[in-house]
Amino acid sequence: MTTVDLLAPAKVNLCLHVTGQRSDGYHLLDSIVMFADLGDRIALAPAPAMALTVTGPRAAGVPDDARNLCWKAADRYGRAVSITLDKHLPAAAGIGGGSSDAAAVLRGLERMTGRPPAFDPLALGADVPVCMLGRAARMTGIGEGVEPLDLPPLPAVLVNPGIEVPTPSVFRALPSKHNPPLDPIPEGAAPGVLIDWLATQRNDLEPPARAQAPVIGAVLAALAPARLARMSGSGATCFGLCDSLTDAQALADAIQAAHPGWWVAAVTLS
Ligand SMILES: C[C@](O)(CO)[C@H](O)COP(=O)(O)OP(=O)(O)OC[C@H]1O[C@@H](n2ccc(N)nc2=O)[C@H](O)[C@@H]1O
Ligand SMILES: Nc1ncnc2c1ncn2[C@@H]1O[C@H](COP(=O)(O)OP(=O)(O)OP(=O)(O)O)[C@@H](O)[C@H]1O
C-alpha cells in the first residue's frame, strides 16, 4: 500500500426537486449536482490502527474520532488507515462536506489496494454515491441513482453565512413532499442556455431552510449580481453562476468585503 492525497470537492445542487417520500421517511429527489475545484484535502497512509487528524481553517467542531464520516468510511471498507483531513469546507452547509470526505476516503482506499468497496456507499449517506462519481450528474431516488451528465463548466461564487442548518429539520418542514420532477435537461447546451433552463427549475428545500435561517435571504440578495443565484442542498450555502471566473472572483471579493464573517469562494463547477 502506498500513501495517497485526494481532493474532496464541494458538492453543489444546481436544482433539487423533492418528488416523493419512502415509507422509511427518506425523500425521493431529482437533482443536478456539480463539483467545485475547491474542497477538503485528504491524505491516507498505511497504519496498524485507525487514526484521524483534522487540520485546516474549518477544523473547529469537526469530530476527529469514529463519528467522522472519513473514519466510518474506512471502517466500513475494513482497512485500518491513518487519515489526515485538511478541512476547508464549512460543515452542515449543504455542500456535502462530510459526504465528499467519505467518498474521497473510499476512492483513496480503492487506489491503495486495487479493491473497490464491498458495501453500498449509500449506507454512509445519501450524497456519498454522487460524491464517488465526483462530476456533473443527475441524482435520483434517495441518492442511489447517479447518472453522469454532459454539462459545461460553470464559474460560480459560493457563499455560506456561518450558520449550520441541520438537513433532517429542513426535510421535515417541507410543506409538500410530492412535487414535479426536473424538466428534460438540456445536456450539451451552452452555459447561457443551461443557466436560463436552471432558472425555471427549483430547490424545494429553499423555502423551509429560509424559514429556519432567514440569513439565507441576505446571502441570495448579495449574490443577485450573478446570472442566477440559488441555495445548494439543504442550505445554508448558496451559489451564484457567473459568465466568467473573472466575474466570479470580482463578485466574491465584493461580497467578502461587505460580509467579512461569511465564507466566500470563487470556483469553477464541473
Ligand atoms: C440534501 C442533500 O444534500 C441533497 O444532495 C442530500 O439529500 C442529503 O445528503 P446527506 O447529508 O448525505 O444525507 P444523510 O446523511 O443520508 O441524511 C441526513 C438526513 O436527511 C434526510 N434525508 C436525506 C436524504 C434524502 N433523500 N431524504 C431525506 O429525508 C433524513 O432525515 C436523513 O436522516
Ligand atoms: N468529515 C466531516 N466533515 C464535516 N462534518 C462532519 C464530518 N464527519 C462528520 N461530520 C458531522 O456531520 C455534520 C454534518 O456535516 P456535513 O458537512 O456532512 O453536512 P452537510 O453540509 O449538511 O451535507 P449535505 O450537503 O449532504 O447536506 C457536522 O455537523 C459534523 O458534526
Q: Which domains does the chain have, with CATH numbers?
A: 4-146 (3.30.230.10), 150-269 (3.30.70.890)
Residue 93 in marked binding region: yes
- E strand spans, 89-227: 137-141, 145-148, 154-160
Residue 233 annotated as lining a ligand binding site: no
User: pLDDT tens digits for 182-218?
Assistant: 999 999 999 999 999 999 999 999 999 999 999 999 9
Stretch 138-149: mean pLDDT = 98
Q: Give the percent of the chain with pLDDT over 90.
A: 99
Looking at residue 129, its pLDDT comes to 98
- Ligand 1 pocket, 99 CB below 6 A? yes
Please state, in angstroms and rounded to a whole number, the distance separating the CA atoms of residues 95 and 89. Answer: 8
Which of ligand 2's atoms lies nearest the C-alpha of 91? 17
Tell me the per-residue pLDDT of 5-54, one tens digit each, with 9 for 90 and over.
999 999 999 999 999 999 999 999 999 999 999 999 999 999 999 999 99
ipTM over 0.90: yes
- 3-state helix, strand, coil split of the chain in percent (to 5) is 30, 30, 40
Placement of cell 487506489 in the chain: 111
- Tell me the mean pLDDT in the region 123-141: 98
The sign of the torsion formed by the CA atoms of 119, 120, 122, 127 equals positive
Q: Is the pLDDT of residue 248 over 90?
A: yes
Residue 214 confidence (pLDDT):
98
> Is 177 a known active-site residue?
no
| Catalytic entry in 40, 101, 127, 204 | 127
Q: Is 196 a catalytic residue?
A: no
Distance 96 CA to ligand 2 centre (A): 7
State the DSSP H helix or E strand holding residue 28, giving kind and residue range, or none if neither. strand 27-46
User: pLDDT at residue 122 above 90?
Assistant: yes
pLDDT higher than 80, residue 173 = yes
Cβ–ligand 1 contact at 237 (below 6 Å):
no
Over residues 1-5, mean pLDDT: 85
Residue 230: is its pLDDT beyond 80?
yes
Q: What pLDDT is recorded for position 190? A: 98
Q: In the predicted model, what is the mean pLDDT of the chain?
A: 97
- From 212, 252, 260, select the one nearest 236 (Cα to Cα): 212
Query: Which pLDDT does position 2 carry in this prediction?
Result: 81
In this structure, the residue with its CA closest to atom 23 of ligand 2 is: 96
Q: Which residues contact 138 (CB under 8 A, 6 or more apart)?
A: 30, 31, 32, 33, 145, 146, 147, 149, 182, 185
Ligand 2 center–CA 252 separation, angstroms: 24
Ligand 2 atom index nearest CA of 164: 29
What is the band of 1 on the pLDDT scale with cuts at 50, 70, 90?
low
C-alpha 160 to ligand 1 mean position (Å):
19
Report the residue among 41, 84, 99, 139 best suited for mutation to probe ligand 2: largest number of ligand atoms under 8 A from its CB.
99
Pocket test for ligand 1, best of 167, 178, 230, 231 (most atoms within 8 A of CB): 167
Ligand nearest to the CA of 73: 2
| Contacts of 252 by beta carbon, 8 Å cutoff, 6+ apart | 157, 264, 265, 266
Per-residue pLDDT, averaged over 56-70, amounts to: 97
